[in-house]
Each structure stands twice: as C-alpha cells, then as structure tokens.
C-alpha cells in the first residue's frame, strides 16, 4: 500500500487516489504554430524513467484535487508532494 501525503488533506492511503501519469509533460502553447512532433511528445511520447518520477494523482475519494507526487518508480518511495499549480524545483 502506498501512502500519499495530499497537500490538502494529509496522509491518505493509495486507495483514495487515481493515477494521472507523467506530470512533466507540458501541453503545447496555444495561439502558436505547433509541429506534429510537439503534439507527439505531448500525447504519446514518455520518458518513463527508472528512479525519481514526477507524476499526477487525483485525490478522487477525498478532496478531488489533482496533485503532483515525486515518487521513485523502482522502490515506490514517495519523496515530496505538491499542489497541482505549485512549481517543482
């Protein structure tokens, strides 16, 4: 069982959350020419690295907020959590 520290609600079990994938993926800017390659990178291509991974989770059975979680994909250790709009250094 993973325990995720929701920045809004505190420590909760993984059962309350739903996974949202890589949080480092940025949607291409609007109002400018977007190449096919940029769309590909946004929609399909992922680094999916072994080790530290910044990802989105939704506290679906709690406050229903999207949050960012920094987690190790090999050990499943969770280092830090952030609000969705927080910049991650």
Which residues form the interface with another protein (CB under 8 A)?
Answer: 1-2, 13-15, 19, 21-22, 36-37, 40-41, 43-50, 53, 55, 71, 73-76
CB 6 within 8 A of CB 65: yes
The distance of closest approach from Cβ of residue 36 to another protein in the complex, given in angstroms and rounded to an integer, is 6
Q: Judged by CB, which is closer to another protein: 23, or 31?
A: 23
Backbone angles phi, psi at 10, to 5 degrees: 95, -165
Strand ordering across the sheet containing 18-22:
18-22, 52-58, 66-72, 78-83
The distance of closest approach from Cβ of residue 22 to another protein in the complex, given in angstroms and rounded to an integer, is 8
Q: Judged by CB, which is closer to another protein: 3, or 31?
A: 3
């Amino acid at each position: 069982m993973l325990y995720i520290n929701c920045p809004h609600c505190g420590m909760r079990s993984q059962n309350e959350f739903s996974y949202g994938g890589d949080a480092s993926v940025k949607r291409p800017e609007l109002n400018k020419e977007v190449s096919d390659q940029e769309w590909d990178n946004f929609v399909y291509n992922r680094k999916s690295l072994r080790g530290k991974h910044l990802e989105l989770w939704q506290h679906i059975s709690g406050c229903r907020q999207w949050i960012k979680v920094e987690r190790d994909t090999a050990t499943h250790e969770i280092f830090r959590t952030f609000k969705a709009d927080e910049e991650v250094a």
